[in-house]
């Protein structure tokens, strides 16, 4: 039997005893247990769902200190970041508890009967929502709390009335085990089936493939690399009965910095952008991997300011040795594609140095290798001749989680053109600040056109994430007793 081992992200040394990887029979047992729990949980009301989600948040907070210490050892993200992430995770759980209690999963559209012949006349129709069933949730490496065992996908699926089987990330196996043990204790105290929240683990891709292929899994939710997400998406669609697969994948998140913004706030924006590029060692899906400039003295000055801001920054170690190798390979590939490095080579320490490279707009549009995501503290400057070339650069990117526009404060045809180009490719368009940091709120959309997402009409963050795990059904001429249930499934 293959095993997992917890690795100290700073030293690269193994920590603790090996953990067994899930076997095919383990995966089958977890999914079958989730399926057995599914009818009960689908019929649960908002109060029951809210009680569970709030108890899970309380369990995380009660175990905060050892959880953060464990997460820090396995990720090197630091206690300040991890405490903040744990707070966000608890906020998400309570947010979805509140939405369940308010009745969002049970919302109905009442379309009373209209007498007469079609097309004007029609029977009474009641449109409501049903939980999909067991969800395969694939945890992310870079958010060991917020996108892991009890992260936003798990919280939103539970609020929607769906059991969850988590595929734990091998980058933080000890933390995943500890959080999963907490969930089982909470379920037991509330008299709920243990299978309502299951977990499988393993570094081999076969574990994830077996999970998404299982015939009782009704949907998949994934946050991670484009390559991994694309493979699982293909598996979800190759099943005898394909299922929805909500993949939040890679993005290069362009920041368009116009001369008028740089002329007045160039130094400030350079400092802000440098912090965003290196935040968390650049290991964010919203990392600003591309900065688009229009040639001119303002942009020339900004590039120098950004170089100066980045040079002294020393990011911490990356999450895993594999990610470090992938980051370095990605930078090499950018150089091979014609990008010019602007920062001195960093010493080969435990942590990588920031990377800033530069290409021309036409070169960027012509070479797809320059549009590959480099996951880590790196950004590619794209120098354009004019607004037309900026729009061509955005169009070449094709899909991104975010696009940031600095300097479109006034209404003009040029600025409208830029906004059209930005909204065409991104799920979220920022007009101030930087893309790192994704608020959990009613208006949030964390997704985008391919390759940012496999389902651009959905979000993995915010209130609307719950809708991914509900299926609409129309009840035509429903009897009174069924109408009286007010959207609660039978």
Place of tokens 């009818």: 39
CA dist 484 → 107, 108, 161, 481 (Å): 13, 12, 19, 5
Spatial separation of the C-alpha atoms in residues 227 and 471, rounded to whole Å: 28
CA dist 371 → 171, 218, 328 (Å): 26, 33, 16
Spatial separation of the C-alpha atoms in residues 373 and 452, rounded to whole Å: 11
Beta strand 109-111 with 125-131 is antiparallel
| DSSP track, 265-305 | HHHHHHHHHHHHHHGGGG--TT---EEEEESSHHHHHHHHH
| DSSP track, 144-180 | TTTTSTTSHHHHHHHHHT--EEEE--TTSHHHHHHHH
Spatial separation of the C-alpha atoms in residues 83 and 90, rounded to whole Å: 11
3-class SS of residue 95: helix
Spatial separation of the C-alpha atoms in residues 340 and 147, rounded to whole Å: 35
Point out the catalytic residue in the list 74, 85, 101, 248.
248
Residues 6+ apart with CB under 8 A from 157: 135, 137, 163, 164, 221, 468, 469
Point out the catalytic residue in the list 70, 90, 285, 384.
285
- Say if CB 401 and CB 428 are below 8 A apart: yes
In degrees and rounded to multiples of 5, residue 234 shows phi and psi of -60, -40
248 is catalytic: yes
74 is catalytic: no
Spatial separation of the C-alpha atoms in residues 310 and 356, rounded to whole Å: 8
Spatial separation of the C-alpha atoms in residues 373 and 377, rounded to whole Å: 11
Q: Residue 352 carries which DSSP code?
A: P
Spatial separation of the C-alpha atoms in residues 412 and 230, rounded to whole Å: 39
* Token pair listed for 209: 């493939």
Q: How many CA atoms lie within 13 A of 16 on its CB side?
A: 17
* Token pair listed for 239: 């099943």
Residues annotated as catalytic are 248, 285
């Amino acid at each position: 039997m293959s095993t997992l081992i917890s690795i100290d992200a700073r030293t690269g040394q193994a920590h603790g005893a090996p953990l067994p990887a899930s076997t095919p029979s383990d995966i089958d047992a977890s999914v079958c247990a989730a399926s057995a729990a599914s009818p009960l949980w689908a019929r649960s009301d908002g109060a029951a769902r809210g009680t569970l989600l709030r108890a899970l948040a309380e369990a995380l907070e009660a175990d905060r200190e050892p959880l953060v210490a464990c997460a820090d050892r396995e990720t090197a993200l630091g206690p300040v970041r991890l405490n903040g992430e744990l707070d966000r995770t608890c906020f998400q759980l309570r947010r979805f508890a509140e939405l369940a209690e308010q009745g969002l999963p049970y919302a109905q559209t009442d379309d009373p009967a209209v007498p007469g012949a079609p097309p004007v006349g029609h029977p009474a129709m009641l449109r409501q929502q049903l939980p999909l069933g067991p969800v395969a949730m694939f945890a992310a490496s870079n958010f060991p709390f917020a996108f892991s065992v009890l992260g936003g996908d798990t919280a939103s699926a539970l609020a929607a009335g769906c059991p969850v089987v988590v595929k734990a990330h091998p980058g933080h196996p000890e933390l995943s085990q500890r959080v999963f043990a907490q969930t089982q204790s909470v379920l037991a105290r509330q008299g709920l089936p243990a299978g309502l929240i299951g977990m499988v683990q393993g570094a081999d891709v076969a574990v994830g493939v077996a999970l998404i292929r299982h015939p009782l899994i009704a949907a998949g939710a994934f946050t991670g690399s484009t390559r991994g997400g694309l493979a699982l998406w293909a598996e979800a669609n190759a099943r005898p009965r394909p299922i929805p697969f909500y993949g939040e994948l890679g993005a290069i998140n362009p920041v368009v910095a116009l001369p008028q913004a740089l002329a007045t706030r160039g130094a400030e924006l350079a400092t802000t952008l440098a912090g965003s590029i290196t935040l968390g060692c650049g290991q964010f899906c919203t990392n600003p991997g591309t900065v688009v400039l229009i040639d001119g003295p303002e942009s020339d000055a900004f590039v120098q300011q950004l170089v100066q801001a980045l040079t002294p920054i020393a990011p911490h170690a990356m999450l895993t040795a594999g990610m470090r190798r992938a980051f370095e390979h990605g930078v090499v590939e950018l150089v091979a594609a014609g990008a010019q490095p602007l920062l001195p080579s960093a010493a080969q320490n435990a942590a990588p140095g920031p990377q800033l490279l530069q290409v021309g707009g036409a070169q960027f549009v012509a070479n797809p290798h320059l549009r590959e995501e480099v996951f880590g503290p790196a950004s590619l400057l794209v120098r354009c001749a004019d607004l037309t070339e900026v729009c061509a650069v955005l169009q070449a990117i094709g899909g991104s989680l975010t696009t940031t526009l600095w300097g479109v404060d006034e209404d003009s045809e040029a600025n409208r053109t830029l906004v059209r180009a930005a909204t065409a490719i991104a799920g979220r368009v920022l007009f101030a600040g930087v893309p790192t940091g994704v608020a959990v709120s009613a208006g949030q959309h964390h997704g985008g056109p391919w390759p940012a997402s496999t389902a651009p009409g959905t979000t993995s963050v915010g209130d609307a994430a719950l809708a991914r795990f509900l299926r609409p059904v129309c009840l035509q001429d429903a009897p009174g007793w069924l109408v009286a249930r007010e959207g609660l499934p039978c």
